[in-house]
Amino acid sequence: MVEKEYNEKEIIGRCIMGDRKAQTLLYKKHSPKMFGICMRYAKNNTDAEDILQEGFIKVFRYLNDYRGDGSFEGWMRRIMITTSLNFYKKKNLLKNDIDLDRLKINLSSSPEAISNMTMDELLTLIQKLPTGYRTVFNLNTIEGYTHQEISELLNISINTSKSQLSRAKSSLKSKLAKLLAVESELLELATSA
C-alpha cells in the first residue's frame, strides 16, 4: 500500500488534529534544519538536542496559533531561537561572561587548518564563545536581529548587546589568528625539512 504524499498545509492540519503520523512527518522534515539552529545557540550536542525537543513540543502545542503569515519554517525558527534563549536563561547563563583568556582552542596539526576549515569547525569556534557573546553573535550576525531587538529579547541594554557582539567578533578573530599562526609555523617546518 502506497501512502499518499501530503503538502505542508495538510500535514499541519493533521498535526493539529493530533495525528501522530503527521507529527512524525513534520518532525522528520524540519528537525535537521532546526537542529542546526539549535546548535548555533547551544554549548554542545546534548543541549542542542534538548532544545530541539523542547522546541518541537512548543511547535506542536502552539500549531493552532500559526496563521500562515510568512513561512512555516520561519515561524518554527523563531520558536527554536526563543527556546534556545530560554534554555540558557533558566540556567542563568546568558549574562555570565567567561574570561576569554581561559578559553582553550583545539588546534589542528594539519598545515591547512584554516583553509580547510569546515562549517562544523567554525560552529565549534562559535560554540566555545561565552554564552552571552555567542547568543548576541548568532542573533545579530546570523539571524539579522538589530541591537534593539536583541536588547528586548535578552533583557539587556543596547550597549551591552553591542559590547557582547564586539567581544564575540574580537574573540573569533583572535582564535582564527592563532590558527593562522600555527598553520604558517607548520608550513615553515614542512618546507624547511
Residue 126: predicted pLDDT:
84
Give the other-Cβ count within 10 Å of 175's Cβ.
18
Residue 2: predicted pLDDT:
41
Residue 189: predicted pLDDT:
67
The topology under which CATH files domain 94-193 is Arc Repressor Mutant, subunit A (1.10.10)
Give the other-Cβ count within 10 Å of 116's Cβ.
11
Taking the domains of the chain in order of start, what are their residue ranges?
Answer: 1-91, 94-193
- Does the pTM surpass 0.85? The reply is no
Residue 107: predicted pLDDT:
35
Taking only the tens place, the pLDDT of each residue in 83-95 is 998 887 776 654 4
Cell numbers for 23: 507529527
**At residue 143, what are phi and psi to the nearest 5 degrees?**
-85, -20
Cell numbers for 47: 543541549
Distance from C-alpha of 118 to C-alpha of 132, rounded to nearest angstrom? 24
Architecture of the domain delimited by 1-91: Orthogonal Bundle (1.10)
Q: For the chain, which residues score pLDDT lower than 70?
A: 1-5, 91-120, 183-184, 186-187, 189-193
What residues have CB less than 8 Å from 2, skipping those under 6 apart? Answer: none
